[in-house]
Chain A
Amino acid sequence: MNPPNWLRAIGRVSLWVWAGLGLLFLFTPILVTVIFSFNEPTGKYNYVWDKFSLSGWTDPFRYPELTDALIFSLKIAVAVTIIATILGTLMGLAMVKYKFRAKGMIGAILILPLTMPEIVLGFSLLTLFVSINWSRGFITIVIAQVMFSVSYVATTVRARIRGFDWRLEEASLDLGASGFRTFSKVTLPLIAPGVIAAAMLTFALSLDDFIITYLNSGLDNTFPIQIWNMKRSKIPVQINVFSTALLIISIVLAALLVVFNNRRAQKLAGLSNP
């Protein structure tokens, strides 16, 4: 009934090899991005390896249009993260804590943006902006990105705060704390890890988004849009330099978050087992 041992060993090894190849598949393009930030291409396009050089890193701001686009992207990401995190967290809280009419419908509206192709979301929003004659730029990009980020935030927060003991809030209120004090001293610390995770996700999604943003950007260029516009004129090393720098910053931030969460978990464990 059971296959012989040698066959199972082969199966096990090939499973590991296959999974390893999968990781390699995911990892290689990222490695290429980093390696090619040290390239000195012969032409205008950074597609073929020529020779090792630090020229991109010593002169990162050589193309002002690229630098400006990156700064614009960061501004948008900050605005979108603040708005979407607040709106999404409130919705996630309501969905977990309360029972109310039309909850199922709200849940469906929250999930739907995640199940639609970006091009449909972006295009339909664009037709709205065009029909009311709203010129596209910073505001319309923020509106578009908040629209899909709210769903991500609410879903993430909802998943992370499920099963919390909300009686702590009532205890705080019963003991005479004000509503605001209860929120800042009880609710917020309780939901903080979920909210921080959702905010980081939103920031990353905002920097990453291209399709919806591109359709609603007008003449303003985010970092991805600038690259898209440059694709027929030049693809300089600085694109890889900026991307590598962002990659390193993201890894450091994510690592810090893990350390912070572990510390917090230890502290909470210490509190409950004196």
Chain B
Amino acid sequence: MTAAAAPSRFRRPRREDGGDDTGVAARRWFTPWLLIAPGGLWLLIFFVVPLFSLGRLSLQDGGLSNYSTVISDNSTVIIRTFIYATISTLAAIIIGYPLAYVIATKGGRYKNLFLALVILPFFVTYLVRTLSWKILLFDNGPVVGILQSVGILSDNQGILGSPFAVVAALTYNFLPFMVLPIYVSLEKLDRRLLDAAADLYSSPARAFRKITLRLSLPGLFAGTLLTFIPAAGDFVNSELLGSDRTVMIGQIIEKNFGKEFFRPELSALSFMLMAMILIGVIVYARLLGTEEIA
């Protein structure tokens, strides 16, 4: 912006105000690479290379037929996994969006306190949080008691082992990942846009749809990814709170990894999980409109 405002002969050869992420050319070309090298090599050796070798392993023996075998053997589990992850992501949006909205727009001086409450679950280990869900949903525990007295559950019915228990815990465990990005995008929102909309006789509902919701789409997108991806790959919630009826893809990998490292099918299954998530991400980005994401 500074550069554009100045007459061209005064334009600086490189940005020196450090205004954003574009950066400047280093005095010596290798300076940035010296900074990148240690972490970059770590990621190359322990992240990029293993992904490639996993992909290669998944094609051993049967080639692409490994994938069709894996998909036909586990079709129920695969479909179930994506249904659970989708429902828990939707539930996280329904619970998380209003929460982020209230904190960002009406939190006032309690904003930081509310935010602290949202990230509080991170201070207790994932497994212990899930065990606390088990306590809450235990037979004759508080939730079952309430549902029985209301009549939703009959007297000897429980929740543990049901899809509901697994989906509820998935929603809970990844909810902060939904709230925080939405909060960040709502926080940046220029409130004067809403005033302008009101001045121009827009109804609040229309202003919300056209301004607030639209400008918070990047946060909603990030939140959806950060909720859906770990939910789709999880095996802890289903293992601790579910039953044979709630087996997810992660559990199949977890159950077999100890004894069958080199079974190509197992690599194919995890590679497929990754591929399906990537496809889901791309489709979702298209649906929301990529220009708004960027």
Separation of A207 and B273 alpha carbons in the complex (Å): 26
Closest Cβ–Cβ distance, residue A5 to chain B (whole Å): 12
Contact of A127 among B36, B57, B123, B234 (CB under 8 A): B57
B42 near A210: Cβ-Cβ < 8 Å: no
Contact B270 A124 (CB under 8 A): yes
Question: What chain A residues lie within 8 Å of B63 (beta carbons)?
Answer: none
Q: B14 — nearest CB in chain A belongs to which residue?
A: A99
CB distance from B169 to the nearest CB of A (A): 9
Chain B stretch 106-158: residues in CB contact (< 8 A) with chain A = 106, 112, 114, 116-118, 120-129, 131-136, 138, 140-141
Other-chain contact of B99, A22, A98, A116, A127 (Cβ < 8 Å): A22
Q: A1-B203, A124-B50 are in contact. Are A227 and B128 (CB under 8 A)?
A: yes
What chain B residues lie within 8 Å of A224 (beta carbons)?
125-127
Given A18-B98, A90-B35, decide whether A48 and B141 contact each other with a Cβ distance below 8 A.
yes
Q: Once the chains are docked, how many angstroms separate the CA of A116 from the CA of B267?
A: 15
Minimum CB–CB distance for B89 against chain A, Å: 14
CB of A135 within 8 Å of the partner chain: no
Decide: A128 near B203, CB < 8 A? Known: A27-B120, A90-B36, A211-B233. Answer: no
- Considering only CB atoms, which chain A residue lies closest to B201 in the complex? A1
Chain A residues contacting B114 (CB-CB under 8 Å) are 23
Residues of B within 8 A of A246 (CB): 123-125
Give every chain A residue within 8 A of B203 (Cβ-Cβ): 1-3
List residues of A (1-32) whose CB comes within 8 Å of B's CBs: 1-3, 8, 15-16, 18-19, 21-23, 25-30, 32
| A15 touches which of B38, B101, B140, B230 (Cβ 8 Å) | B101
Smallest Cβ distance from A72 to chain B, in angstroms? 14
B140-A48 in contact (CB<8A): yes
Contact with A along B2-14 (1 / 0, CB 8 A): 0000000000001
Chain A residues positioned under 8 Å from B49 (CB to CB): 128
A125 to B39, CA, bound (A): 16
Contact between A120 and B26 (Cβ–Cβ < 8 Å)? no
Complex CA gap A251/B125 in Å reads: 14
Contact across chains for B39 and A33 when beta carbons are under 8 A apart:
no
Within A124-151, which residues are at the interface with B (CB < 8 Å)?
Answer: 124-128, 130-131, 143-144, 146-147, 150-151
Given A25-B175, A32-B136: A117 in contact with B274 (beta carbons within 8 A): yes
A69 → B minimal CB distance (Å)? 11
> Is A36 an interface position by the 8 A CB rule?
yes
- Cα-based distance from A8 to B96 in the complex (angstroms): 21
A247: CB under 8 A from chain B? Answer: yes
Interface centre among B46, B116, B125 (most CB of A within 10 A): B125
Is residue A198 contacting chain B, with contact meaning CB distance below 8 A? no
Number of interface residues of B (CB under 8 A): 97
Instruction: Decide yes or no whether A166 CB sits under 8 A from chain B.
Output: yes
Assess A128 versus B141: contact at CB under 8 Å? Given A120-B270, A123-B257.
Answer: no
The answer to whether B72 has its CB under 8 Å from any CB of chain A is no
Cβ of B70 under 8 Å from chain A: no
Bound together, the chains give a CA A149 to CA B226 distance in angstroms of 15
Contact B53 A118 (CB under 8 A): no
CB distance from B50 to the nearest CB of A (A): 4
Please, which residues of chain A bring their CB within 8 A of the CB of B118?
23, 26
Knowing A106-B40, A120-B270 are in contact, say whether A22-B50 is a contact too (CB < 8 A): no
A43-64, CB < 8 A from B: 46-48
A117 x B233 contact (CB < 8 A)? yes
The closest CB in chain A to the CB of B134 belongs to A47
Q: Please give, as numbers and ranges, the residues of chain B lying within 8 Å of A87 by CB-CB distance.
A: 38-39, 42
A256 close to chain B: CB less than 8 A = no
For the complex, is A195 an interface residue (Cβ under 8 Å from B)?
A: no
Chain B 171-196 per-residue mask, 1 if CB under 8 angstroms from chain A, else 0: 01001100100000000000000000
User: Please, could you name 7 A-B residue pairs with CB atoms under 8 Å apart, sorted by A?
Assistant: A28-B136, A99-B14, A100-B32, A109-B48, A116-B229, A117-B234, A119-B234
B-contacting residues of A (Cβ < 8 Å)? Answer: 1-3, 8, 15-16, 18-19, 21-23, 25-30, 32-33, 36, 46-48, 86-88, 90-91, 93-100, 103, 106, 109-110, 112-121, 123-128, 130-131, 143-144, 146-147, 150-151, 154, 158, 162-167, 204, 207-211, 214-215, 223-224, 227-228, 231, 235, 239-240, 243, 246-247, 250-251, 254, 258
